[in-house]
Structure 1
Amino acid sequence: MIDRVITSGTFSLDGGTWDVDNNVWLVGDAREVVVIDAAHDARAIKDRVGERTVKAIVCTHAHNDHINAAGELAELTGAPIRLHPADQVLWDQVYGQAVAYHPLADGEKIEVGGVALEVLHTPGHAPGAVCLHAPDLGVLFSGDTLFKGGPGATGRSFSSFDTIIDSISRRLLTLPGETVVHTGHGDSTSIGAEAPHLEEWIARGQ
């Protein structure tokens, strides 16, 4: 039902470039999947998809390391790319008008393989950042909004610490504590493991 491909490449913003490993999540069944965050290597992602239909390529946000394989993967699979339109400014830095996406909306449900992924708009790391909640699976795909050990980075353009803390506290920490959090980078965690540390994060960020 849930599979992960780890791809490697670079993240670039504000004139800097960093080496990164990204988690690319596949959700679905033996017939169809949704790809969450097509990063770096479209061929590796397509190989893991195999003969299944890709219903959508969902971008949790438009930093280059989360979307730089989306265009090629869309060509390989015929799947639509989905992105929250508040991240247009970041999308344009990678694709401009050369690649189109279909807008995501807060509260929208994406159905795949008998599972519903609910879109939660969680700005802060990026204006259009979203998480995908699959309550039937007890899982949240958090992109770069929430990691094991704290919130996503907010020290670069188009980000806000106060906004990400608000998003996490209102939209994520209200989910059941047993909810598993599959992140955009690194190890998974849970809502219950992260919730007690909210005040520490706020103090650390001030």
Structure 2
Amino acid sequence: MIDKVVTSGTFSLDGGTWEVDNNVWIVGSADEVVVIDAAHDAAAIAERVGDREVRAIVCTHAHNDHIDAAADLATRVGAPILLHPADQVLWEMVYADLPYTPLKDGQVISAGGVDLTVLHTPGHAPGAVCLYGAEIGALFSGDTLFRGGPGATGRSFSSFDTIIESIKGKLLTLPPETAVYTGHGDSTSIGEEAGHLEEWLARGH
């Protein structure tokens, strides 16, 4: 079961602020789920979860638009917040003292019979991760991979070369039919995006 809530708010970094719509993914079964990226509106996310148990709130990275509802949602549903510790500096821009459970590459997070493997994919942010569900043929890519290209790398703590390396080494090796559920905008597939790698490299930043 893959469910989605689209929430709206702002993303702020390096002195700028932008209006954004975020995809919040809810993955699992009719009994228990994982929430991926608690963005902007904890009440709307909790309403969509309903009476299902939330096993974890997983942050694909710590840009404020992906974590700004995490603390509120964690309180509402009684679930731990999971984040890769390489994003500590970004986390502290939003939550100075709030603890989280560290994620690591290769870790498996399970809910409702769905196993999601953590893939550390730095580049958009140092601690960026994707979650791969092999049995459901799905990748939850956060802001690492979108329809039409890699995530943005023009701001602090990001690197174009690093994100390309992450995508080539960790994502484009997945089966081409794998559905890619992104942090913003429309979904895509590994096969659809794999054919554009040279184009991205030529385009650069």
Which residue of structure 1 lines up, in the alignment, with residue 12 of structure 2? 12
Which residue of structure 2 lines up, in the alignment, with residue 118 of structure 1? 117
Distance in 2 (alpha carbons) for counterparts of 1:191 and 1:28:
22
Which residue of structure 1 lines up, in the alignment, with residue 154 of structure 2? 155
Mapping for residues 63-142 of structure 1, pairs under 5 Å: 63-97=63-97, 99-142=98-141
List alignment gaps of at least 5 residues for structure 1: none
Distance in 1 (alpha carbons) for counterparts of 2:169 and 2:199:
17
Query: Is 1:2–2:19 an aligned residue pair?
Result: no
After superposition, the CA RMSD in angstroms is 0.5
Residue 67 of structure 2 aligns with an amino acid whose one-letter code is: I
Which residue of structure 2 lines up, in the alignment, with residue 62 of structure 1? 62
Residue 66 of structure 1 aligns with an amino acid whose one-letter code is: H
Distance in 2 (alpha carbons) for counterparts of 1:138 and 1:69:
28
Q: 1:180 Cα shift? A: 0.2
Residue 7 of structure 2 aligns with an amino acid whose one-letter code is: T
Distance in 2 (alpha carbons) for counterparts of 1:58 and 1:7:
16
List alignment gaps of at least 5 residues for structure 2: none
Say which SS state the counterpart of residue 127 (structure 1) adopts: coil
Q: 1:100 Cα shift? A: 1.1
Which residue of structure 1 lines up, in the alignment, with residue 184 of structure 2? 185
Residue 53 of structure 1 aligns with an amino acid whose one-letter code is: E
Say which SS state the counterpart of residue 196 (structure 2) adopts: helix
Say which SS state the counterpart of residue 165 (structure 1) adopts: helix
Distance in 1 (alpha carbons) for counterparts of 2:38 and 2:154:
24
Distance in 2 (alpha carbons) for counterparts of 1:149 and 1:142:
13
Q: 1:202 Cα shift? A: 0.7
Q: Give a deviation string over 1:69-110, Cα, whole Å, max 9, x none.
A: 00000010110000000000000000011x210000100000
- State the identity %: 75
Q: 1:163 Cα shift? A: 0.0
Residue 53 of structure 2 aligns with an amino acid whose one-letter code is: T
Residue 179 of structure 1 aligns with an amino acid whose one-letter code is: T
Q: Give a deviation string over 1:143-168, Cα, whole Å, max 9, x none.
A: 00000000000000000000000000
Runs ≥4 residues deviating over 3 A: none
Which residue of structure 1 lines up, in the alignment, with residue 53 of structure 2? 53
Q: 1:33 Cα shift? A: 0.5
Distance in 2 (alpha carbons) for counterparts of 1:168 and 1:177:
13
